[in-house]
Amino acid sequence: MTQIKKLLIIGFVWPEPNSSAAGGRMMQLISIFRQNGYEITFGSPALDSDFMVDLSEFGVEKKTIELNNSSFDDFVAELNPDVVLFDRFMIEEQFGWRVAENCPKAIRLLDTEDLHCLRTARQKAFKENKIFQLKDLLSEEVAKREIASILRCDLSFIISEFEMKILEEVFKIDSSLLYYLPFLVDEMKEDDLLKLPSFEERKNFVFIGNFLHEPNWNTVQYLKETIWPLIKKDFPEAVLEVYGAYPSQKVLQLHQPKNGFFIMGRAADANEVVKKSRIVLAPIRFGAGLKGKLLEAMQCGTPSVTTKIGSEAMHADLPWNGFITDDIQLFAKHAISLYQDENLWKQSQKKGIAIINECYLKEKYAEVLIEKVNSLLNDYENHRLHNFMGSLLQHHTLKSTKYMAKWIEAKNKN
């Protein structure tokens, strides 16, 4: 009889697939491991939220864990997982050394979500009005922490081919430590478009994105101040609905119905909102990873207008399901023509299906992923022998982080 393998996921937050692409990504990973017979425990130090999924419905056990507390050591030693998946590098920094100490045989996986150092460096360059260059990454403190975390793990999931290239070429990470894993969705056929609302049944432009994510907030400001006035000038009846979880007062103040600019707040069902809209607008100016909102638009048959950063690493060499431009005049012009030209709109829809089937098919990646993890389980000692830098960092991190954590724990008891 095959022994059931145990997976412990340590989450930065509890998954909220309807609030962010990161939440959707986590549920995709849970689904793959569950379908392959893994018994899953999901632990997080985060507070519960009103919008988190009920993990028990997915056959996952939920466990609240504490930062800087040796109670985690007892918990993880007793659970004795075969595989541990860290959700973002900050979580690996906190718990990686404890896992290594208490469960040395457990395979340590890191889901980067996106390269935080890339997002941070681009944001910094944008705010300083400079052109971002790859060499900027090398001076980022976040990069030093993130790359150390990748090196300490047995395998890191990288969501974007552009980020794979950066890690291999700029940071010289060995490819055996990296695994390209984009968003994973089911195949779509052109007939599926017939089940979606038609061109005539849809109305309005839409933007959707979690407002706790700085690139989204910046995009909404850019839309309001720069792009929307250009669209309204040539298309006075135009309406833009802005949806997103966790809108702050700053966001809500942008609500201007007279100008066709509506801040709608959290969407009860993001999918339904995008399906009813005619065009997604996403003039994203900095960020990293893949944009879940743009993949969702393709799945909903909703063409989009975005920037080079927005579409980065998302469509291989295939034509976009709409338009890509960094020129604000062209952005507005393309948005209007896509909205008004039914034939152009339908052609764009079909391009979205081609991108999904070429770049994001779950069946193309899921089986290979499990094979990769299982091969690590069978040969982890040899794999780690070839990652000397990782063991070096693990050794020093274990010492420094361990004593810092124990100092904090002792301090908290006083």
Q: Are residues 257 and 368 in the same domain?
A: no
Residues 96 and 203 in one domain: no
Q: Are residues 227 and 299 in the same domain?
A: yes
Average pLDDT along the chain: 94
366 and 304, same domain (yes or no): no
Convert the pLDDT of each residue in 167-180 to its tens digit.
999 999 999 999 99
Number of domains in the chain: 2
Q: What mean pLDDT is predicted for residues 17-46?
A: 94
Same domain, 387 and 263: no
Between 341 and 401, name the one with better pLDDT: 341
117 and 237 share one domain: no
351 with 397, same domain: the answer is: no
pLDDT score at 237: 97
- Is 200 a domain residue? yes
Could you tell me the pLDDT band of residue 19, with boundaries at 50, 70 and 90? confident
Confidence of residue 20 (pLDDT cuts 50, 70, 90): confident
Q: Domain boundary residue among 343, 359, 375?
A: 359
170 and 199 together in one domain: no
State what percent of residues in the chain have pLDDT above 90: 88
pLDDT at 353 over 60: yes
Provide the pLDDT for residue 309: 96
What does the pLDDT read at residue 398? 60
The pLDDT assigned to 21 comes to 86
Looking at residues 45-67, what average pLDDT do you find?
Answer: 96
**End-of-domain residue from the set 314, 342, 359:** 359
Which residue range forms the structural domain that includes residue 143? Answer: 6-184+362-413
Last residue of a domain, one of 359, 379, 396: 359
SS3 sequence of the chain:
CCCCCEEEEECCCCCCCCCCHHHHHHHHHHHHHHHCCCEEEEEECCCCCCCCCCHHHHCEEEEECCCCCCHHHHHHHHHCCCEEEEECHHHHHHHHHHHHHHCCCCEEEEECCCCHHHHHHHHHHHHCCCCCCHHHHHHCHHHHHHHHHHHHCCEEEECCHHHHHHHHHCCCCCHHHEEECCCCECCCCHHHHHHCCCCCCCCCEEEECCCCCHHHHHHHHHHHHHHHHHHHHHCCCCCEEEECCCCCHHHHCCCEHHHCEEEEECCCCHHHHHHHCCEEEECCCCCCCCCHHHHHHHHCCCCEEECHHHHCCCCCCCCCCEEECCCHHHHHHHHHHHHHCHHHHHHHHHHHHHHHHHHCEHHHHHHHHHHHHHHHHHCHHHHHHCCHHHHHHHHHHHHHHHHHHHHHHHHHHC
CA distances from 167 to 162, 176, 215 (A): 9, 12, 22
Shared domain for 203 and 177, answered yes or no, is no
In a domain, 1, yes or no: no
Report pLDDT for 1.
47
The answer to whether residues 317 and 398 belong to one domain is no
- pLDDT score for 2: 60
Give the domain CATH number at 306: 3.40.50.2000
> Does the structure show a pLDDT above 80 at 64?
yes
pLDDT, tens only, 112-146: 999 999 999 999 999 999 999 999 999 889 999 99
> Is residue 375 included in any domain, yes or no?
yes
Average pLDDT over residues 216-232: 97
Query: What are 237-271's pLDDT values in tens digits?
Result: 999 999 999 999 999 999 999 999 999 999 989 99
Give a yes or no: residue 68 inside a domain: yes
Same domain, 207 and 354: yes
What would the pLDDT profile of 80-89 be if each residue is shown by its tens digit?
Answer: 999 999 999 9
On whether the CB atoms of residues 15 and 26 are closer than 8 A, the answer is yes
pLDDT of residue 408: 74
Are 93 and 212 in a shared domain?
no
**Residue 395 — very low, low, confident or very high, per pLDDT cuts 50/70/90?**
low
Over residues 208-233, the mean pLDDT reads 95
